[in-house]
Amino acid sequence: MKLPVKLFQFALTVVTTGVVNIAAAVTVPPLPLPGPYAVECSDVAQDTTSLAPGEDIQLYWEGVPRSDGSARTPSQLLLEPASTPAVTVQAPATPSVYGSFAGRSLPYVVIVCHPTTAANPRGDYALPTGKIVPHMMRAGDAPLWPDATTRFPVMLFSHGYGGSPISNDYIYALTVFASFGYVVAAPFHTDATFSDLQLDNISDVLYLLTHLQNFLAMQALRPLALSASIDLLQADPQWRDRIDSAQIGGFGASMGGESMMLMAGGGLTTSVGLSWTQIEHDTRLKAAVGYVPYFGQPILPSFGRDQHGLDGVSLPFLGIGGTADTTAPIEVTAQGMLRLGGPRELVALTGVKHEFSVPATNDIFTWSVTWLDAMVRGNEAAKTQLAQMTSVAGGVDDFVVIPLNTVGASNFTGLWWAAGGTESGWGIDFEQQGDQLYATWYTYDTNGRALWLSMLANRTTPTGNAYTGPIVITRGPPFNNYAGAATATTVGSGTLTFTDLDSGSFAYTVNGVTQTKALARYDLDTGPQVACTYSTTTPDFAAASNYQDLWWVPNGAESGWGITLAHQGDAIFATWYTYDVDSMPLWLTVLARRVGTTSAYAGTLYRTSGPRFDAYDATAVATTAVGSATLTFADGNNATLAYVTSGAGGLPGTTQSKQITRFPFAASGGTLCQ
């Protein structure tokens, strides 16, 4: 017996989230399909002369071997292979994951569809299945763009298990997304080349045991092909100058949804015992949508025991599931999505099975385009609509199972100040790693002297937006002769509560004074705001090109002082928290700008005095230039802080140089910004 829709909605929401969303329902009109752009696609012209009588051409597209074991591949039927995009994936030499394919170079054909001019004269190409590739490029053709300058966001498209980008209704989906202004890249995953395991046979343990290895290889290779597709677009002169590499999203159908999670750092189940292994972590992917996304089945979840392989994955993800789907049960999807650390939302389509639902077409694309426009493009209208919408008019009955959580485990790393800039002169830096947030508060004592306080705050609930911890004051050796140890004294406590990624409040009690300040993220105005992502697996800090983080002397050799870097574009706002000649807290700042095209950033060093922390007075803020500072980065994890103090501002004249590195204070993993 099936639950009535609304009862199902209530039950699943309570079971999976523990809360009931009682916000008023907002139904939005469907987006008109297709979008505003005409669409052109790359060359996939087919040579059908080699097909055996009655042989289905889709067997080649999907990589299904012949009965004698010989291979069928998409490239075998290409009429103009030199003009068809393709990538090569080098499978890691890990037999436990990639089986017999470990260490091998594997080719993949890719189709790219993109916006084009409405006057595009190129004809549509009719596939043997009757489907159409619109305005298909042929040998020697260059892309025809709608205008001469626009850079378009990228969307990776990952088809379902056993399909191809031009099989069934997938080609239609590619062209719809491209019509909304995305450059869509879709590799032919050729799943059947690697595995003949049927998803419906997962419950057959014996069958699973004998087919698991190749099934793992197929799953693990998918995200690698998607990452290689980004490399292709960024390198090929046909597209590299017309894509926005800072705006890359994804759409995955069925197993394509799993592929997006693996690409974002999810751990793939690699044994019947439900252990998991991280496959890929491509931070270029900014957000994704999964339609009937495959998160496994109860006997074999995709991401380890109880889906713990998704712990710490912060990719913004929209799941669209079917209430009648038994291949990718929506309950299993919900279990996995609740572990995601970033914005996530799960939408249910009533009565939809594991297939493309024609009646739900408008629901699927309206939810998907709105999500991608909000999360990838940063479109404000899309953000507003996404925050309010609970269903799409018409189509099937769609409803929200896991409400949008734009805060949850989002990352608040960055420099913050009083909302609206109403109290210029003081600020607070947040460095978040997992469920801990290290706050350094730059303010002034009761005499107007620079004072810094710190707080290591812990998240108060597993997916909440509040962090609480003790506030301490630290005293230590003078900055120009750092010898000995610093001492910390607890002077109060504080709670940080965030309403979204850019605003929140700071409630604190310090030395008996209790206050609350409204906070906002501080924009250096030197480039786009950075996005920070925490991973439970320690990131490759050395390869990072954004230096925003908390830094100190390597191995804590001078524990007690540090420097916070807010890096945006070609500028770094550095706040150095250290100690004066009398061992009292001292903070100095420098807005360091990049020196030419080097890895050095330099600027004037300032000391600031201002109003006491509990009684703001704008007239009391005063800055004094006290020298200069240069940050020179050897790589993303190692730098030199060189500074000169001139003797001004009550500081002694000093010339020194310090080696510094990032400070990963969490027990494991770390945060990278870009």
* Per-residue model confidence as pLDDT tens digits over 178-211: 999 999 999 999 999 998 766 555 555 555 656 6
Strands 152-158 and 183-187: parallel
Cα–Cα distance, 213 to 221 (Å, whole number): 12
Mean pLDDT of 321-334: 95
CB 10 within 8 Å of CB 342? no
Cα–Cα distance, 80 to 375 (Å, whole number): 37
Query: Residues 228-286: pLDDT tens digits?
Result: 999 999 999 999 999 999 899 999 999 999 999 999 999 999 988 889 999 999 989 99
Mean pLDDT of 581-608: 96
Is the pLDDT at 18 greater than 90, yes or no?
no
| pLDDT band at residue 329 under the 50/70/90 scheme | very high
Cα–Cα distance, 610 to 152 (Å, whole number): 46
- Over the chain, what is the mean pLDDT? 90
CB 225 within 8 Å of CB 277? no
Q: Residue 9 has what pLDDT?
A: 44
Q: Residue 168 has what pLDDT?
A: 85
CATH topology of domain 23-402: Rossmann fold (3.40.50)
> pTM (2 decimals)?
0.64
Beta bridge partners of 649: none
Q: Is 202 helix (H, G, I), strand (E, B) or coil?
A: coil
Which residues, at least 6 apart from 136, have a Cβ–Cβ distance to it below 8 Å? 40, 41, 42, 43, 44, 45, 122, 123, 124, 125
Is the pLDDT at 611 greater than 50, yes or no?
yes
SS3 assignment for 108-132: EEEEEEEEECCCCCCCCEECCCCCE
Q: Residue 19 has what pLDDT?
A: 36
| pLDDT band at residue 585 under the 50/70/90 scheme | very high
Q: Where are the beta strands (DSSP E) in 569-636?
A: 571-579, 585-594, 600-609, 622-635
Q: DSSP class of residue 651? A: P
Choice among 3-12, 616-625, 641-650 with the minimum mean pLDDT: 3-12
Q: Is 166 helix (H, G, I), strand (E, B) or coil?
A: coil
Q: Residue 323 has what pLDDT?
A: 96
Number of continuous H segments (helices) and E segments (strands) in the chain? 9, 36
CB 63 within 8 Å of CB 159? no
Give residue limits of the domains in the chain: 23-402, 414-673
Helix H or strand E encompassing 401: strand 398-402
Whether omega for the bond prior to residue 34 falls within 30 degrees of 0, making it cis, is yes
Helices 255-263 and 205-235: crossing angle, nearest 10°? Answer: 60
Q: Is 388 helix (H, G, I), strand (E, B) or coil?
A: helix
Query: Residues 38-76: pLDDT tens digits?
Result: 999 999 999 999 899 999 999 999 999 999 999 999 999
| pLDDT band at residue 214 under the 50/70/90 scheme | confident
Cα–Cα distance, 541 to 556 (Å, whole number): 17
Is the pLDDT at 287 greater than 50, yes or no?
yes
Q: Residue 462 has what pLDDT?
A: 57
Which residues, at least 6 apart from 501, have a Cβ–Cβ distance to it below 8 Å? 406, 407, 410, 412, 521
Q: DSSP class of residue 168? A: T
Q: Which residues of 383-399 are buried (b: 16+ CB within 10 A; e: fewer)?
A: bebbeebbbbeebbbbb
Q: How many CB atoms lie within 10 A of CB 37?
A: 20
Q: Residue 216 has what pLDDT?
A: 92
CA distances from 402 to 16, 326, 363, 406, 603 (A): 8, 19, 17, 12, 47
Query: Residues 402-456: pLDDT tens digits?
Result: 988 754 446 899 999 999 999 999 999 999 988 899 999 999 999 999 999 999 9
